[in-house]
Structure 1
């Protein structure tokens, strides 16, 4: 009888140990999932904050600014649900809501449009930022947080910004080629830019100005080449005339 009770007690203890281990493993799994979720939201917020820092270098529309700030707000809400005691998250939520209100009531995009990149490295940086913005926009649209019409409009606007960056850099490189007397290379780049712009149905004022600049540089190059060819032809004709004069001039009698 005593042995039976001991065995039952040992069995019950083992069962309790197993149950305890299962509960501990479940809690550890939950904590790990919670940490991973919080880390994911922090990374999204950091990425979005970094994109917002470039608003001074690129023309961000009001819709895009709202999308980025709402993205941060959604992440903060998830963090608050999983970590309600975090006062920093609560404070940040209050700040982001104030920013959203300010954006809705007062934000206006700079009318002057894209500022030309200062260097090739700057152009590459801006192109990378635009690429990331388009990826974020697509992700938010897939989550149904951005309407289809807004997505189409904003994605096309960012695509045109990419084009403006490339064309501005192309104009600078064509000018350098022209100054280095690499006329064939300069012509090739200018004609390439015009070929890209010509079929666009939705050129804005800045793209139209870029197109005019490209055409003006091409005309300048054509005129210069024509002038050089004309001067060369005149020199050749003058040399030919001089040679003929020497050939047919009267012979001197000695």
Structure 2
């Protein structure tokens, strides 16, 4: 009888342990599922953010297609892992993205980088800078996963680099002009000199880029203007009296009071 009780207690204990293990596995799997859904949602949000800002600079259809396909892949994973209303939302968005991809197939548009003009609004410039940084990281990540043709990746990365260069140079020259206008000639000279250094370094690699040549001339002209304005702003040195004048002052007749 005692043996039966001990066996029953042992069996019950094993059952409790087994239930706990299964429950822990389910909780672990659920936590991993939620983490993965959150990761895919972050990928979708980041990529959609970059995609929404591609109209602010010359962007090829190759890049747009890479972004749409990245969203498509993340949505497909989210659909598989989600349940209930979130699953339906992801399914609807996946259908929309697939429709966009189908509509873009065969279309090739590569607008020239030279058409880019830096906005006057500092907030817009900041958005473009941040977007290009994220875009470059996305292109590299997708290329590393074998999802971007090597030639397209090389061309598009070079285009992003060129846009970043243009923004950097334009920003430095613009700030130099502003500093010169505020009569901060030291800062203006420093910024335009840095812009020239950057331009000369790039010109050595791409001597036929018309943008580089044009900006080199513009920066040189601005540097001349700054140097001229700085020279004019300096107070004139007091003219030194001649030695003869000092001698005349020393030996002139003294006044009688």
Kept in 2, the 8 Å contact 1:134–1:155? The answer is yes
Write out per-residue CA displacement over residues 149-205 of structure 1, whole angstroms, 9 at most, x where no aligned residue: 333332222122111111111221222233334455444433432332234233644
Separation in structure 1 between the aligned mates of residue 180 and residue 149 of structure 2, nearest angstrom: 46
What are the residue-to-residue correspondences of 1:10-21 with 2, within 5 Å?
Answer: 10-21=9-20
Q: Does 1:134 align with 2:119?
A: no
Instruction: Find the counterpart in structure 2 of residue 49 from structure 1.
Output: 48
Kept in 2, the 8 Å contact 1:171–1:190? The answer is yes
Aligned residues: 231
> Could you state the TM-score of these two structures normalised by the residue count of structure 2?
0.75
Cα gap change, 1:209 to 1:103, in 2 (>3 Å): farther
Separation in structure 1 between the aligned mates of residue 212 and residue 97 of structure 2, nearest angstrom: 34
Separation in structure 2 between the aligned mates of residue 19 and residue 109 of structure 1, nearest angstrom: 61
Separation in structure 1 between the aligned mates of residue 61 and residue 209 of structure 2, nearest angstrom: 18
Separation in structure 2 between the aligned mates of residue 216 and residue 103 of structure 1, nearest angstrom: 45
Mean CA deviation greater in 157-166 or 182-191 = 182-191
Q: CA RMSD in A?
A: 3.2
Instruction: Find the counterpart in structure 2 of residue 88 from structure 1.
Output: 89
> Could you state the TM-score of these two structures normalised by the residue count of structure 1?
0.76
Cα gap change, 1:168 to 1:38, in 2 (>3 Å): same
Kept in 1, the 8 Å contact 2:61–2:107? The answer is no
What are the residue-to-residue correspondences of 1:1-254 with 2, within 5 Å?
Answer: 2-83=1-82, 86-106=87-107, 108-111=109-112, 113-183=115-185, 185-200=187-202, 201-202=205-206, 204-218=209-223
Separation in structure 2 between the aligned mates of residue 61 and residue 209 of structure 1, nearest angstrom: 24
Kept in 1, the 8 Å contact 2:189–2:226? The answer is yes
Write out per-residue CA displacement over residues 79-104 of structure 1, whole angstroms, 9 at most, x where no aligned residue: 12223762222211111111122333
Gaps of 5+ in 1: 237-254
Instruction: Find the counterpart in structure 2 of residue 249 from structure 1.
Output: none
Separation in structure 2 between the aligned mates of residue 212 and residue 75 of structure 1, nearest angstrom: 47
Cα gap change, 1:174 to 1:17, in 2 (>3 Å): same
Write out per-residue CA displacement over residues 179-238 of structure 1, whole angstroms, 9 at most, x where no aligned residue: 33445544443343233223423364444443443344346567x66x969xx9xxx9xx
Separation in structure 2 between the aligned mates of residue 211 and residue 103 of structure 1, nearest angstrom: 39
Gaps of 5+ in 2: 240-257
Mean CA deviation greater in 111-120 or 125-134 = 111-120
Runs of at least 4 residues off by over 6 Å = none
Separation in structure 2 between the aligned mates of residue 183 and residue 9 of structure 1, nearest angstrom: 92
Separation in structure 1 between the aligned mates of residue 127 and residue 152 of structure 2, nearest angstrom: 25
